[in-house]
């Protein structure tokens, strides 16, 4: 019988939640790495028992943990993320130039085919790759070295590279996203990159449709249709039908088009999920109601999904890496909140139950579908 | 024999229960103790000192004989009580936050 494993990163450790395919009862394992911030835990599509975790604190810096047995045991691997060459500077909050400084790993994206190859999106924004199971890391410096790099400016959460999408048919083709620089694409395995932000409009910028400077919060791709991308920008939900060459807005009837995560149904590439948040000033749900919004039309037309979610006095947020789907039928959808709840839907979002309610603030959720 | 006391999170990371004991060339200094510590426990590289600059991380302090020696020169000999093993070299995670 199939099963689902959720990999949950929180402010105070990691958790592994497992259920059989019914997704009714969950075993909770954790916390792992108690007291450390776990920005992300992710598993290899090529070997689901190979897991990587980003573990950090302000005191002791960055650790990368690796498991070869589905999280039963872990081994610290390489934690040296050295920028290639002379790092140079990027733009600081006040418009002055600021040296690139490594802070932490936000996102780990294992290769689709090789368990030992994994990409790390870091703050200050850069993409690193390991081809030896995380023991050593090499920067793909063509990204940070792009001619616009000096113009990149941190978002409120830092200058973080948080999204790494690998094309399912051509691993040399990848899309990354950076707050607050925008989206970038490579077609040569990371050697060279170019911005793909045409159509994004950000009112916070003096030139609102400039080439870089857009605060992209998250991009999602369904592997069955890799040229269609959905983006939750700081404000605006966006769609591209040409691999990011151009974007158009699909916010439609959302109560707010500000938010962080975005996810796509595993089997219906036009079914998209977002969690609207009131504003960038408040970071709470509109009307104190926690609502996932689902579009079955590839955007523009959205319906509120509320069954099982708190519809009063709710002031949690859902962060950009904290929503995931499984590939069972019906599709499971999962998200974690800053209030420590992890919600699950085993019916594609129609109804929700809280697997746990009192975790530390959830930073990330990944779903593995197991045979 | 130098005795080193690590903060809880670094003891967990190294799998050490209690103090660490290190053989360090005479006279021991902050630098030689940290070099020996990282050589014995490579997982500590980058957690106490920056990988690239080898500078102490901002929220790490070093204590010996009840004194904060974090700002002392790295190559200055440690107190004789530490060199003899009578007192430990303490790596401390600074209290910060609220």
Which of A13-17, A209-213, A318-322, B41-45 has the least mean pLDDT?
A: A209-213
A8-A162-A288 Cα angle (round to 5):
65
User: Mean pLDDT over residues A62-84, rounded?
Assistant: 97
Q: With contacts defined as CB-CB under 8 Å, which chain B residues touch A63? A: 13, 43, 47
Whether the predicted pLDDT of A240 surpasses 60: yes
User: Mean pLDDT over residues A161-173, rounded?
Assistant: 98
Whether the predicted pLDDT of B95 surpasses 90: no
The pLDDT, as a whole number, for residue B96 is: 66
A308-A314-A320 Cα angle (round to 5):
85
Out of B13, B48, B59, name the one closest to residue A63 (CB).
B13
pLDDT in tens, B30-87: 999 999 999 999 999 999 999 988 999 999 999 999 999 999 999 999 999 999 999 9
Q: Please report, rounded to a whole number, the percentage of residues in chain B having pLDDT higher than 90.
A: 93
Reported confidence tier of residue B98, pLDDT bands at 50, 70, 90: low
Out of B43, B46, B59, name the one closest to residue A59 (CB).
B59
B52 and A82 within 8 Å at the Cβ level: the answer is yes
Reported confidence tier of residue A205, pLDDT bands at 50, 70, 90: confident
Whether the predicted pLDDT of A286 surpasses 60: yes
Gap from B10 CA to chain A (nearest CA, Å): 8
Gap from A75 CA to chain B (nearest CA, Å): 9
pLDDT in tens, A334-354: 999 999 999 999 999 999 999
Beta bridge partners of A66: A52, A75
CB pairs under 8 A between A and B: 42
Out of B13, B48, B58, name the one closest to residue A76 (CB).
B13
pLDDT in tens, A245-285: 999 999 999 999 999 999 999 999 999 999 999 999 999 99
User: Mean pLDDT over residues A179-189, rounded?
Assistant: 97
Q: Please report, rounded to a whole number, the percentage of residues in chain A having pLDDT higher than 90.
A: 95
> How high is the mean pLDDT of chain A?
97
A63 and B47 within 8 Å at the Cβ level: the answer is yes
ipTM score of complex: 0.93
The pLDDT, as a whole number, for residue A10 is: 98
B46 and A80 within 8 Å at the Cβ level: the answer is yes
Gap from A242 CA to chain B (nearest CA, Å): 41
The pLDDT, as a whole number, for residue A151 is: 94
Residue with tokens 């158009």: A248
Reported confidence tier of residue A135, pLDDT bands at 50, 70, 90: very high
Gap from A81 CA to chain B (nearest CA, Å): 9
């Amino acid at each position: 019988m199939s099963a689902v494993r959720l990999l949950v990163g929180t402010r105070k450790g990691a958790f592994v939640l497992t259920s059989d395919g019914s997704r009714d009862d969950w075993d909770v394992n954790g916390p792992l790495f108690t007291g450390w911030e776990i920005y992300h835990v992710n598993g290899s599509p090529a070997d689901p028992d190979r897991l990587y975790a980003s573990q950090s604190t302000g005191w002791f810096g960055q650790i990368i943990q690796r498991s070869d047995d589905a999280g039963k045991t872990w081994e610290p691997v390489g934690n040296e993320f050295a920028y290639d060459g002379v790092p140079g500077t990027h733009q600081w909050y006040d418009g002055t130039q600021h040296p690139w400084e490594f802070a932490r790993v936000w996102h780990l994206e294992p290769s689709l085919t090789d368990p030992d190859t994994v990409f790390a999106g870091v703050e200050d924004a850069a993409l690193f790759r390991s081809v030896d199971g995380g023991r050593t890391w090499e920067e793909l410096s063509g990204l940070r070295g792009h001619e616009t790099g000096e113009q990149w400016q941190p978002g409120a959460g830092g200058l973080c590279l948080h999204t790494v999408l690998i094309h399912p048919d051509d691993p040399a083709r990848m899309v990354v996203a950076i707050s607050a620089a925008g989206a970038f694409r490579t077609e040569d395995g990371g050697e060279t990159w170019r911005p793909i932000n045409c159509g994004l409009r950000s009112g916070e910028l003096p030139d609102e449709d400039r080439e870089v400077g857009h605060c992209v919060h998250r991009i999602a791709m369904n592997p069955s249709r890799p040229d269609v991308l959905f983006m939750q920008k700081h404000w605006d939900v966006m769609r591209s039908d040409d691999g990011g060459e151009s974007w158009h807005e699909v916010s439609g009837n959302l109560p707010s088009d500000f938010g962080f995560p975005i996810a796509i149904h595993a089997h219906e590439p036009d079914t998209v999920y977002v969690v609207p948040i009131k504003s960038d000033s408040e970071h709470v749900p509109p009307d104190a109601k926690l609502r996932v919004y689902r579009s079955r039309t590839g955007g523009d037309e959205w319906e509120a999904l509320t069954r099982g979610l708190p519809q009063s006095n709710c002031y949690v947020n859902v962060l950009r890496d904290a929503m995931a789907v499984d590939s069972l039928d019906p599709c499971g959808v999962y998200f974690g909140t800053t209030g420590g709840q992890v919600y699950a839907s085993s019916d594609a979002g129609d109804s929700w139950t809280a697997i746990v309610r009192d975790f530390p603030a959830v930073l990330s959720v990944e779903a593995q579908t197991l045979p | 024999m130098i005795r080193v006391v690590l903060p809880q999170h670094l003891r967990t990371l190294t799998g050490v229960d209690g103090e660490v004991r290190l053989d360090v060339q005479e006279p021991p200094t902050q630098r030689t103790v940290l070099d020996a510590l990282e050589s014995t426990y490579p997982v500590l590289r980058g957690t106490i000192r920056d990988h690239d600059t080898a500078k102490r991380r901002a929220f790490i302090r070093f204590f010996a004989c009840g004194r904060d020696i974090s700002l002392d020169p790295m190559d200055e000999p440690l107190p004789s009580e530490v060199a003899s093993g009578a007192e430990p070299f303490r790596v401390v995670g600074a209290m910060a936050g609220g």
